[in-house]
Structure 1
């Protein structure tokens, strides 16, 4: 038997280090009969009979079209169906134009890799998604600068420092892109979007400040008919580009960037994540149209209402829990978001305790979140009943009580 190669030894050592610092990742399956408090299926469409029926109707309508995409959009993967879908989604979401991508990661990384011009600056919320970091890493931007999460004052300080210190920015000859999300997937809090828009307009008199908004987790959840937070606030004209993904509340896969026709054409020419990948297949496109058909027919309004009822109930029930060293509610000041982070130094133990009782949650640990910010993330869905929410919160309370008793016993023994 041959000895392990240098590469094998290097990879094995890297994996062992991850195991030793409790950051090892592995694929898992949900236990049979689990109640979902983990996935991003906020409208519970993945198990919806109405969505399945809409999808089947759409497949029947296009029964004679080729199922495969055939190649990249620039070669043989384009179709009238894809272009019509882009137009219809952009119209529904009140955007000027739209361009489909295979995923939100591809859309973000492709956009930020090519749109900032040489020497431009990208300013980003410190908790922005990894896909934006990937795009910035590949971009020609001269500088990438973070600002404190959801802190409008911190954003303004960074922007004013840029204006004061860079003549080209001050004269409107160098562009500054500001990257934010509407609903952050780990902390579960909403961006102060109106304040961010006002700040950019106040600082950049030359019109060279551009806001890019990732609506991945807010699509389907906020706004009339699930159009997202930008539309809910009426800020469509204030945003340079918006990303809406289909893999969360819409139970599909893929994404669209809403932008001007000029930016769309530029992305077609320069976004490598579009140019060099096989496009979405016809069944994937049909599923997206089926989901949006439910939205623009108003068929998801009841699900959206149920979701927000469950969100309110979850936050009300969690607010009764007393924060301790073993359990701190991350976003207890925001009670209208479907994502709640329960900070704990023992996220795997809490997650396992809940999973063993068939409440599906996931531990989130470093490097996904910073050290000291480990948590169990709770996602509520329209199909979650108030009784299920009550059961989940009760089990969290039980675990906290057990941990506090165990800590008290340990302290007592240490003092003997």
Structure 2
């Protein structure tokens, strides 16, 4: 009989040999250019104070005591769902414990065997995992390729769902959502948009910004990025919410979020409308970073007007080397290696924040210019 321990050791050795071995790293004192805390909410003293006040004003348990279908549901939770849905101009919403849970629950339960799921090739792993669990027919199209999308729609059978992101987590770019929505509607398919990295810089998300609310079947908004807390919500119709309560296994079979998490989400949404100046500062920092960067054909900067800025270095070795140089200069930038991204698309992923100073951004740009082509 084969040994599980032998399998584990073999696979780990292979990953180390390929240069793609992952390890966990604790917090550090470097300048943050890698977290998803785009608006600084996770470190905000004001948000912390608001959360503390909200918790103090409600009698609550330390934990939720069970799933929402048993003892973990609160009137507070349902009111919060309605408030978030209204903010995003959606009919209804259902909270999940994470963005991963939301995408897995939505994509695994909604499409059925004989239906079709079409995704951009760079869609998040949580969408891929959910789609695999659905047993639906699955197709991908080349990143942001409208002709590729249409060609796959012509192959669709049953009920068809198209899933894209409004800001891609590893490239930072925004797809042509208006055209995608038109094509999806023309083929009587249903558009799902993951807004995880959009909400914040785009207050209500790009779907709302483009007035596509009525053309998008479902949106996923996560709270662990610009909102600085944790959890996610699926936005859509009342009937979609009702369906997910009955069929989304990642909702049904998990312990509900504790009150502290709910209070943090609610207060983050209360702070967001007051944060126009913070959002403007983030926009300024993005422009400040992009202006001095020396673009080359060998190591290009992926086109993005969002907080995520990526430089393609095309090998694990080069990406790791540049990340180390940046860290030696006190800048926390991480290498994104294959297989997280496809081989040949290895990169450094830079996340800009409203709280990054001009001096920090100038140091980042000058260090990159010095070492990338050196």
TM-score scaled by length of structure 1: 0.87
- Aligned-residue offset at 1:356: 1.2
Aligned to 1:150: 144
CA distance in 2, matches of 1:387, 1:233: 34
Is 1:82 aligned with 2:80?
no
Deviates more, 1:80-89 or 1:6-15: 6-15
Is 1:190 aligned with 2:174?
yes
CA distance in 2, matches of 1:35, 1:228: 27
Alignment equivalent of 1:218, drawn from 161, 175, 198: 198
Aligned to 2:312: 343
SS of 1:350's equivalent?
helix
Deviations 1:220-271, CA, capped at 9 Å, x for gaps = 111xxx1010111011111100000000000111000001111111111111
- Aligned-residue offset at 1:158: 1.7
Aligned to 1:166: none
- Aligned-residue offset at 1:401: 4.4
Aligned to 1:272: 249
CA distance in 1, matches of 2:257, 2:277: 30
Aligned to 1:13: 10
Contact 1:30–1:360, Cα closer than 8 Å, also in 2: no
Aligned to 1:287: 264
Which residues of 2 match residues 355-370 of structure 1 at below 5 A?
A: 355-370=327-342
Structure 2: runs of 5 or more not aligned:
none
SS of 1:242's equivalent?
strand
Aligned to 1:406: none
Structure 1: runs of 5 or more not aligned:
163-168, 403-416
CA distance in 2, matches of 1:157, 1:324: 30
Alignment equivalent of 1:307, drawn from 271, 282, 285: 282
CA distance in 1, matches of 2:280, 2:352: 13
SS of 1:8's equivalent?
helix
Structure 1 ranges of 4+ moved more than 3 A: none
How many residues are aligned here?
Answer: 370
Alignment equivalent of 2:56, drawn from 53, 57, 60: 60
What RMSD, in angstroms, separates the aligned Cα atoms of the two structures? 1.3
- Aligned-residue offset at 1:11: 0.6
Alignment equivalent of 1:108, drawn from 90, 103, 110: 103
Aligned to 2:232: 255
Is 1:240 aligned with 2:191?
no
- Aligned-residue offset at 1:175: 1.0
Distance 1:324 1:239, change over 3 A: closer
Contact 1:40–1:249, Cα closer than 8 Å, also in 2: yes
Distance 1:379 1:77, change over 3 A: same
Is 1:179 aligned with 2:145?
no
- Aligned-residue offset at 1:29: 2.5
- Aligned-residue offset at 1:30: 4.1
Question: Of the two, which has the highest radius of gyration?
Answer: 1
TM-score scaled by length of structure 2: 0.96
- Aligned-residue offset at 1:40: 0.5
